[in-house]
Structure 1
Amino acid sequence: MTEFVLVAGARLGSWAWDEVVPHLRAAGHGAHPLTLSGLAEKRGMPAGQQTHVQDIVDAIEHRDLRNVILVGHSYAGIPVGQAAGRIGDRLEHVVLVDAGVPADGASFAAGWPDGGAALKASLDANGGFWAVPPASHYAGHGLTDEQIARIVRGSTPHPGATLTEPAVLVRPLGELAGTYVVCGLAGEGPGEDVAELLGEERWRAAGLDTGHWPMFSRPRELARILLGASPG
């Protein structure tokens, strides 16, 4: 049995996977959506980048999970990519869903076109947190008004230190087996870091004709891609 460990992006918690989890479990697999420190029901807990990496590693080790498919969406690709290299032979596959790709010594903010200056200014203006955006931020991503309202209602400000602290890779992500999910409505498309990753022998691409939040807009189709990464 495959154990899916699911980590959503910035401002989101385990609840973001509510419509994906039933499809995975119906196929006979384990599904473990995680909430990272400082978010959702863990709001108020101090968190930096390595806190989130440790959250993931601890969840896998404490539950003694094996045959793990580790899934990271958006921001969560950064801590997921680091955690993947730290769980040894527990890992079966990595899936990045329209996600950031960690680079050793670089932060999530460093991947922004301006080197993260605009993001850091936003954090400074909001007490060190990345504020929850308005509903208009989600337009054009294949989401219904009801889905957008649910995302906005459930989101919490994101701890800024997790975005500005550097990644620490103990193993290059390209050495691991993985899938990168490209969401066709999510802007300009994958960058050079994704192209480089997909150039590795053990990585492949999968596409979804939807926006940046497929766990809401296309949960069944996303689950199908995740199940396709499992040998079972």
Structure 2
Amino acid sequence: MANYVLVAGAWLGAWAWDEVAAELRAAGHGAYPLTLSGLAEKRDEAPAGQEAHVRDIVDEIERLDLRDVVLVGHSYSGIPVGQAAERIGDRLARVVFVDANVPRDGESFVSAGGNGQEVAVAIAKNDGFWPPLTAADFEGQGLTDEQVARIVAGSTPHPGASLTEPAVLGDALPELPATYVKCLLDWPEPYGRAAELLEGEHWRLVELDTGHWPMFSQPRELALVLQEL
């Protein structure tokens, strides 16, 4: 059986994976949701940069001595997860990007484009943190009002340094066994670095007909996708 290390995106912690982790464990797998430094129950720690988030992941895998690791990154956390995947060697079975940013060497979350400039301005205005989304921002993402309320209530400001510091990568990522899970309500197809890597022979694409937060909107379906890998 596989060991799933689950890392949620911006503003979220290990709690976001409760339902997915329960499904994986019921099927006999190991499931290890991880909170990155500066978020959720770790919010009172010193503000964390990109390297700290990569170390969070690598250190936890090594501390637990996990093998056959399926390393799962959602949204923002695809950036540290992609770097960690290169560093854990033969412990890795597969890396999975769930509607996630995919890292490029020397590029940060903010510099990668999209709404990066908007994020940088928000960080500057909020004492070095990216403030969480409001309920209205989740419209059209396949979530119930109860699910939205749960996300909003559990979100914490995201440490800005992790969004502005660049990724540090070797050249292994294109050669790693990888899956990109595209959530169609958020955007219909992968773009940027993800689209480039999906053209290679080691990466595959899976689609989910839901929004950007499938661990809430379709936890059972997401767990099945992860198991089928």
Q: What is the TM-score normalised by the length of structure 1? A: 0.96
SS in 2 for 1:110: coil
Q: In structure 2, how many angstroms separate the alpha carbons of the residues matched to 1:59 and 1:13? A: 15
Does residue 1:82 correspond to 2:83, yes or no? yes
SS in 2 for 1:105: coil
Larger mean CA deviation between 181-190 and 137-146 belongs to: 181-190
> 2:56 is aligned with what amino acid?
D
Residue 92 of structure 1 is matched in structure 2 by 93
Q: In structure 2, how many angstroms separate the alpha carbons of the residues matched to 1:78 and 1:40? A: 19
> 1:212 is aligned with what amino acid?
H
Residue 43 of structure 2 is matched in structure 1 by 43
Q: Is the 8 A contact 2:82 2:103 kept in 1?
A: yes
1:72-130 Cα distance to aligned partner (Å, 9 max, x none): 0000000000000000000000000000010001101112236x222111100111000
1:119-178 Cα distance to aligned partner (Å, 9 max, x none): 111100111000011100111000000000000000000000000000001343111001
Larger mean CA deviation between 59-68 and 116-125 belongs to: 116-125
Unaligned runs of 5+ in 1: none
CA apart distance, 1:200? 1.2
Give the length in aligned residue pairs: 228
Q: In structure 2, how many angstroms separate the alpha carbons of the residues matched to 1:134 and 1:27? A: 35
Q: In structure 2, how many angstroms separate the alpha carbons of the residues matched to 1:2 and 1:187? A: 30
Q: Is the 8 A contact 2:182 2:188 kept in 1?
A: no
Unaligned runs of 5+ in 2: none
1:204-228 Cα distance to aligned partner (Å, 9 max, x none): 0000000000000000000011001
Q: Is the 8 A contact 2:107 2:167 kept in 1?
A: yes
1:139-150 equivalence runs, <5 A: 139-150=139-150
SS in 1 for 2:226: helix
Q: Is the 8 A contact 2:71 2:94 kept in 1?
A: yes
1:20-35 equivalence runs, <5 A: 20-35=20-35
Residue 4 of structure 2 is matched in structure 1 by 4
Residue 110 of structure 1 is matched in structure 2 by 111
CA apart distance, 1:45? 1.4
CA apart distance, 1:188? 5.3
Q: In structure 1, how many angstroms separate the alpha carbons of the residues matched to 2:75 and 2:63? A: 25
Residue 206 of structure 1 is matched in structure 2 by 206
Instruction: List, as ranges, runs of 4+ consecutive aligned residues in structure 1 with deviation greater than 2 Å.
Output: none
> 1:207 is aligned with what amino acid?
E
Residue 55 of structure 1 is matched in structure 2 by 56
Q: In structure 2, how many angstroms separate the alpha carbons of the residues matched to 1:192 and 1:170? A: 18
Does residue 1:177 correspond to 2:216, yes or no? no
Larger mean CA deviation between 204-213 and 165-174 belongs to: 165-174
Residue 133 of structure 1 is matched in structure 2 by 133
1:189-200 equivalence runs, <5 A: 189-200=189-200
Q: Is the 8 A contact 1:86 1:170 kept in 2?
A: no
Superposed CA RMSD: 1.0
CA apart distance, 1:44? 2.0
Q: In structure 2, how many angstroms separate the alpha carbons of the residues matched to 1:179 and 1:55? A: 22
Q: Is the 8 A contact 2:10 2:75 kept in 1?
A: yes
Q: Percent of aligned positions with the same letter in both sequences?
A: 63
Q: In structure 1, how many angstroms separate the alpha carbons of the residues matched to 2:39 and 2:171? A: 27
